[in-house]
């Protein structure tokens, strides 16, 4: 049975990677909201480009930039290779890195190797990851702590993916009574516990309720990027669900709106902006909206999934450097010399 379960996990993870690389899985008819925001150019920035600092701190560790490799994958040899390449690049550039769902590693410890990236990323924050719904399917604080220990993580994120689970053939759809279970995890696990969506966003009211049960950080993971109902559409053999997925192609809270709502509701909450970010200007807009960190996911996957590890890492490093350059240039364009000045700018305007 364990072998069959392991093969099913490997098949699902492999399908997710292939679909995200080869199919059109963005939401349709919905954008991130960044396209409606512009920075008011400052023709006299009154600072030197070279003096601009991207440095920040996250979970008590210094980072070269307020940037995060968003949780993507794990559970197979291919996924492990992707995670290691991303970890090498994150360590080199000083980014935080999140892992994909670690349910597989908890259920089958032989799959844990694909999540063990501390060797490649010894100094940057690593974030373990468990689906929040698994708290209703036998996982408790002990399993969550196990995920943290296996990955030597600095934090744990519980991901919310209710819409994906509905369309996933093997989905778990009992999302009842999760606030109490999340509170128990927050009180028991040895590291900060956060919540992230997977691409449909979190509203201010929900964020406030999560803060009330002890959540230490929130990743908005808004709509406008990858839609996991679209991803699962390509996996499903159920024609009814495949057709129904099209009705939800524009579902979700645009990333920019989700960030703004959460920040308005929770002025002090540690906030990650992810969901369809494409470049450093999107990161700058996220930070100007009030986020503490900006996360990049599927946009990094093509280079991370390359066949040659050495080439993949080199290309990832170039991509990371470009994103940082774009972020720094946006800051120069509005006269913000530090990340704190960017987060407090009044030069982000709606059009």
pLDDT of residue 169: 83
**CA 330 to each of CA 36, 295, 337: distance values in angstroms, whole numbers, following the listed order:** 16, 17, 10
Whether 1 shows a pLDDT value over 50: the answer reads no
Question: d(Cα 51, Cα 113) in Å, to the nearest integer?
Answer: 41
Of 17-21, 171-175, 200-204, 254-258, the poorest mean pLDDT is in: 17-21
pTM: 0.95
Q: Where are the alpha helices (DSSP H) in 71-203?
A: 77-93, 103-107, 141-151, 162-167, 178-188
Dihedral over Cα of 105, 109, 114, 115: its sign: positive
Mean pLDDT calculated for residue range 7-33: 86
Closest Cα partner for 124 from 151, 160, 150, 158? 151
List pLDDT tens digits, range 268-325: 999 999 999 999 999 999 999 999 999 999 999 999 998 788 999 999 999 999 999 9
Question: d(Cα 166, Cα 335) in Å, to the nearest integer?
Answer: 46
- The pair of structure tokens assigned to 166 is 């509905």
- Band (pLDDT 50/70/90 cuts) for residue 121 is very high
Residues pairing with 349 in the sheet = 38
pLDDT of residue 180: 98
pLDDT of residue 4: 65
Mean pLDDT of the chain: 95
Taking a C-beta distance cutoff of 8 angstroms, is the pair 156, 129 a contact?
Answer: yes
- The pair of structure tokens assigned to 99 is 């892992």
The distance in angstroms from the start CA to the end CA of the chain is: 56
Residue 103 host element (H or E): helix 103-107
Question: d(Cα 83, Cα 247) in Å, to the nearest integer?
Answer: 33
Please state the φ and ψ torsions of residue 350, each to the nearest 5 degrees: -85, 145
- Ranges of beta strands (E only) in the chain are 37-39, 56-58, 61-63, 67-69, 96-98, 126-131, 155-160, 193-197, 217-219, 270-273, 293-296, 348-350
- Band (pLDDT 50/70/90 cuts) for residue 75 is confident
Question: d(Cα 260, Cα 280) in Å, to the nearest integer?
Answer: 18
Q: Where are the alpha helices (DSSP H) in 189-238?
A: 204-212, 228-235
- The pair of structure tokens assigned to 193 is 């516990």
Residue in the structure block whose two tokens are 């129904």: 244
């Amino acid at each position: 049975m364990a072998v069959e379960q392991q093969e099913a996990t490997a098949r699902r993870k492999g399908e997710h990677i292939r679909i995200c690389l080869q199919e059109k899985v963005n939401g349709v008819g919905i954008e991130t909201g960044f396209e409606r925001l512009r920075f008011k150019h400052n023709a006299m920035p009154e600072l030197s480009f070279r003096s601009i600092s991207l440095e920040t701190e996250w979970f008590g560790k210094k980072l070269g930039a307020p940037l995060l490799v968003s949780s993507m994958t794990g559970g197979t040899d291919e996924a492990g290779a992707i995670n290691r390449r991303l970890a090498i690049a994150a360590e080199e550039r000083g980014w935080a890195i999140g892992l994909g769902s670690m349910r597989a590693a908890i259920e089958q410890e032989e799959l844990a190797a694909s999540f063990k990236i501390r060797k490649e990323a010894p100094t940057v924050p690593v974030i373990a990851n468990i689906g929040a719904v698994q708290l209703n399917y036998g996982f408790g604080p002990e399993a969550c702590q196990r995920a943290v220990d296996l990955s030597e993580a600095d934090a744990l994120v519980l991901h919310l993916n209710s819409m994906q689970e509905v369309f996933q053939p093997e989905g778990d759809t009992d999302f009842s009574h999760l606030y109490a279970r999340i509170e128990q995890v927050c009180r028991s696990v040895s590291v900060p516990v956060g919540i992230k969506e997977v691409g449909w966003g979190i509203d201010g009211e929900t964020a406030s309720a999560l803060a009330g049960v002890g959540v230490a950080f929130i990743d908005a993971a808004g709509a406008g990027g990858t839609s996991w109902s679209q991803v699962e559409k390509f996996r499903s053999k159920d024609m009814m669900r495949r057709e129904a997925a099209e009705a939800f192609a524009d579902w979700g809270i645009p990333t920019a709106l989700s960030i703004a709502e959460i920040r308005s509701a929770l002025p002090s909450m540690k906030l990650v902006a992810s969901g369809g970010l494409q470049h450093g200007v999107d990161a700058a807009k996220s930070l100007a909206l009030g986020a503490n960190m900006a996360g990049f996911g599927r946009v990094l996957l093509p280079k991370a999934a390359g066949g040659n590890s050495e080439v993949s890492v080199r290309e990832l490093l170039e991509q990371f450097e470009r994103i940082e350059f774009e972020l720094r240039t946006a800051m120069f364009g509005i006269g913000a010399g530090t990340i704190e000045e960017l987060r407090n700018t009044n030069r982000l305007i709606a059009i």
